[in-house]
Amino acid sequence: MKVEGKNAVLEVLKAGRTVDKLLLQKGAEGALGRIFAMAREQGVRVQFADAKALARESETGRHQGAIAYVSDYAYADFAELLAPKAGPRLVIVCDGVEDVHNLGSILRVAECAGADGVVIPKNKSAQVTGAVVRISEGAAEHLRVARVPGVNFAVERLQESGYWVYGLEADGESIYQTDLTGDIALVVGGEDSGVSALTRKKCDKVLSLPLRGKVNSLNASVALGIAVYEALRQRS
């Protein structure tokens, strides 16, 4: 797997991931210089190349002078997210989030908010690729992401483990009138389909954010960010 971009590569190194090789643009300075120094400390093999060579190797076209070759993403065990802990738990469940940009943004929001983890289904969902790591600005390297057979399986197991599971949709109850201080899991749907009908039925409640404009929906990661930080506000 290739991880591209200065911030994403830096976070990969900070997380201690095994990097097989690092490709840096010649004349590395600034952030690239810090990446080079950290790579040398960790004994990572570094190869320098010109901009044209990096462009040929890049899969995203946004390498920013740094490409790390790493093993495939190491997913967490879903059971880790079901284990009790001190303080309230917070988990994000992705239902049909197939766009890599949305998944990357969701992982960034979840990590910044201190979520315990993110759950994605093995099918009909974007997976954690190098592009997702880059879009998440490396947040994926510091967050537990678990894969499950299906979203409804995850919802049921979370409920059995003491979580209140809330779907995020436009036609639910106001999130600002809901107690989010306990163990909660927030289900966010894909851009086009939203949370599936069966999953909605399995959720303990469907919550929504007030919409005052003419557009009838928010981007999935934006809606999640507002919801997650409302939970943090209540807990503080």
Say whether both 199 and 129 belong to one domain: yes
Q: Which domain holds residue 85?
A: 78-235
Which of 47, 70, 93 delimits the end of a domain? Answer: 70
CB 204 within 8 A of CB 158: no
Virtual torsion, Cα 120, 121, 126, 128, nearest 10 deg = 50
Q: Which domain-ending residue is among 12, 45, 70?
A: 70
CATH number at residue 44: 3.30.1330.30
The DSSP element (H or E) to which 80 belongs, if any, is helix 78-82
Rounded mean pLDDT of the chain? 92
Position 138 scores a pLDDT of 86
Same-domain check for residues 198 and 103: yes
Please state, in angstroms and rounded to a whole number, the distance separating the CA atoms of residues 32 and 180. 41
Per the model's pLDDT, the better-predicted residue between 216 and 131 turns out to be 131
Q: Do residue 205 and residue 112 come from a single domain? A: yes
CATH code: domain of residue 91: 3.40.1280.10
Tell me how many domains the chain contains.
2
- Same-domain status, 83 and 192: yes
Q: Of the residues 70, 93, 119, which one is the last residue of a structural domain?
A: 70
Q: Identify the weakest region by mean pLDDT among 97-106, 165-174, 209-218.
A: 209-218
For 163-212, write each residue's pLDDT tens digit.
999 999 988 999 999 999 999 999 999 877 889 999 999 999 999 998 88
Torsion sign, CA atoms 107, 109, 115, 120: negative
pLDDT at residue 131 in the model: 86
